[in-house]
A and B are shown apart, each in its own frame.
Chain A
Amino acid sequence: MARKVSNTRKTVITALAWTIGLLIFFPILWIIILGFKSEGDAIKTPFEVLFSSWTFESYHEVQERSDYFRHFMNSVIISLGSTLIALVIAIPAAWSMAFVPGRRTKDLLMWMLSTKMMPAVGVLVPMYLLFRDFGLLDSRAGLVGVLTLINLPIVVWMLYTYFKEIPGEILEAARMDGAGLKSEILYVLTPMAIPGIASTLLLNVILSWNEAFWTLQLTTSKAAPLTQFIASYSSPEGLFYAKLSAASTMAIAPILILGWFSQKQLVRGLTFGAVK
């Protein structure tokens, strides 16, 4: 609508929106602030907190004492690992469903999506026992495996939607130009699909990083990613707000940043196309 909106209206709306936005964002803001305070200051009243001195001491303590870096790397390895493996499996699958659709393709896709809807507790027991018996408890490999499986449907789905947007005629042209299947995928499909693949990778890394069921059930310390690490702070052990805040800020910062870039992918990936 290219009509003029009154400035008063715009101002009121802007004020309202910013207020609500800041209110919603406030907890995150508060974590960031508290992370830069000393423990003693962190528990004072809000005004005192704001005006007390800023310090890096909490960050230092977190990194030194609790081997934070190891947990961070666990999160990175698990998120990236499960995403990359999922991509390797999903790209050919999505390719065939998008470009050589059969009568059953739609049903197949729906079935894949339905596997995501199974509640995790439904298989908690066998997964725990299987992991225990195969020595996979508290192992990064085991966790990568589980996360790959639970996110595979979404990765396939997202790639499918992106592939479908590639004009089929271009692939036919490649075929006529003498490209075999491998060449077709390598020289034509993948370069054109890279934006879509990147978006899928982004969303999946975010989902894996934040996954808070299997990471809590199947790890204790060695392979524990950040979700478990933060959870271990839940037993009350006295004053620790500043350290918790510092640790939390470091844990959520990467994903917050990535998340800002992935809003469109979020809608595409998690509404399964039911909303455009």
Chain B
Amino acid sequence: MGKITLKSVRKSFGDTHVIPGIDLEINDGEFVVFVGPSGCGKSTLLRLIAGLEDTSGGTIEIDGKDATDLPPAKRGLAMVFQSYALYPHMSVRKNIAFPLKMAGMDAAEQDKRVNHAAKILNLSSYLDRKPGQLSGGQRQRVAIGRAIVREPAAFLFDEPLSNLDAALRVTMRQEISELHQTLKTTMIYVTHDQVEALTMADKIVVLHAGVIEQVGSPLDLYRNPRNLFVAGFIGSPKMNFITGPEAAKHDCHTLGIRPEHLDVTEDGIWEGVVGLSEHLGSDTFLKVEAGPLGTLTVRANGEVDLHHGDKVRLSPQEGKLHRFDKDGKALR
């Protein structure tokens, strides 16, 4: 249940080749996150899997069966939309029951499943309200409830948290992760927020211009990015990139070092002047002008009390330097 295989999947809109060709394996029960900048094709890919768009080539297999030409309803998948897409004229109960009604389930069985889903999601007291009377987080849960009752092979989430405020986002993120642990169903989750990706995923698929840049576990992507794009995309603040003679000294075209792997030391090998400093209490972020090395972002301990104009010396931590060739590929 919930094993999805994409073979050479392509998608073009007229002359625009949004997805030139993708091969991907998603295992049963995995929490897979599609992440990438706007326009990279992650939502398109999700919609191709859902069946809301036709592929221009390639095949999509769900649990071993070819689903490429199946309409969305017959693929056994459930989707949670960015805007929740609740039926405004139906009560919460009717919203959640709708897919069951479409499947021809009898009323008693419908009620049972709806009540069960409502209990899991803490919606039992809202069942008779209409979506317009609910808050953002509640609507989100109704959308999830509607997906759960179908007992699908996989859940598809299309940037479900972007319309929520920051605090609610954190809460819902955790709720979705807990849901995954409870239901153990495959979940495919699309987001542009790499923090969501890193915290929720079993496996992350980094997409860029319709092409998969790298697939791996969160820590895998963090520790061993395969190319410049992934290195710069994963991790916040962004990895520092150094080109020129310093990179040549390390036998590569581009040198990469994450802000959290730069230490402020008395005898650091690199020196510079502090430009901007941000004191968050827990951390201190410094933008250091390091001459030929460019501007380096440094994440230091919250106690570090450096300010604009201060001279600093930095050293990269042992074994944390990333080297990339002139095509942007990582050198091991």
Residues of A near any B CB (own CB < 8 A): 167, 169-170, 172-180, 183, 187-188, 191-192
Contacts and interface: CB of A to CB of B under 8 A. Distances in A.
For the complex of A and B, the 3 pairs showing the least CB-CB separation, nearest first, are: A178-B102, A177-B99, A173-B85
Contact of B78 (A170, A174, A176, A188): A176
21 contacts: A167-B85, A169-B81, A170-B87, A170-B88, A172-B72, A173-B86, A173-B146, A174-B98, A175-B72, A176-B52, A176-B72, A176-B78, A177-B73, A177-B98, A177-B146, A178-B103, A179-B98, A180-B102, A183-B102, A187-B98, A191-B89
A172 B81 CA distance: 9
Interface string B93-112: 00000110011000000000
B89 A176 contact: no
A178 B81 contact: no
B207 interface: no
B96 to A, nearest CB: 10
A101 to B, nearest CB: 13
A175 B88 contact: no
Interface string B219-237: 0000000000000000000
Interface of B: 50-52, 71-73, 77-79, 81-83, 85-89, 98-99, 102-103, 146, 150
A114 B330 CA distance: 61
Contacts of B86: 170, 173
Nearest to A172: B52
B21 to A, nearest CB: 25
A172 B86 CA distance: 11
A177 B102 contact: yes
A192 B87 CA distance: 8
Contacts of A180: 73, 102
Nearest to B104: A178
A175 B52 contact: yes
A183 B73 CA distance: 12
Contacts of A174: 87, 98
Contacts of A169: 81-83, 85
B286 to A, nearest CB: 43
Contact of A179 (B83, B102, B146, B150): B102
Which one of A170, A177, A180, A188 has the highest number of Cβ atoms from chain B below 10 Å of its Cβ?
Answer: A177
Nearest to B94: A187
Nearest to B81: A169
A174 B99 CA distance: 8
Given A172-B72, A188-B87, 9 more contacts: A172-B79, A172-B85, A175-B72, A176-B51, A176-B52, A176-B99, A180-B102, A183-B102, A187-B98
